[in-house]
Structure 1
Amino acid sequence: MIDDVLGPSLDVLFCGINPGLMSEATGHHFARPGNRFWPALHLSGFTPRLLAPAEQHLLPSYGLGITNIVPRASAKASELTREELVEGGAALASKVTEAGPKVLAVLGVSAYRTAFLRPKARIGPQGETVGGARIWVLPNPSGLNAHWTLATIAGEMGRLRASLA
Structure 2
Amino acid sequence: MRTAAIKTQSPVQELFFMIAPPRHIASDVAVLKDDVHYLIGHDFEDRFSKAHISLFKYTGEHIEDMIEFVEEKAASFEAFNVFLKDFNVFHNGSKRTIYMDIVNKYPIREVFENLVKEDRDFTPHITIAKNLSAEDFLKCWPYLKELNYSNQHFPCDRITVLVRNGKKWMHYKDICFGK
Question: TM-score, normalization: structure 2?
Answer: 0.26
Question: TM-score, normalization: structure 1?
Answer: 0.27
**Higher share of residues assigned strand:** 2
Larger Rg: 2
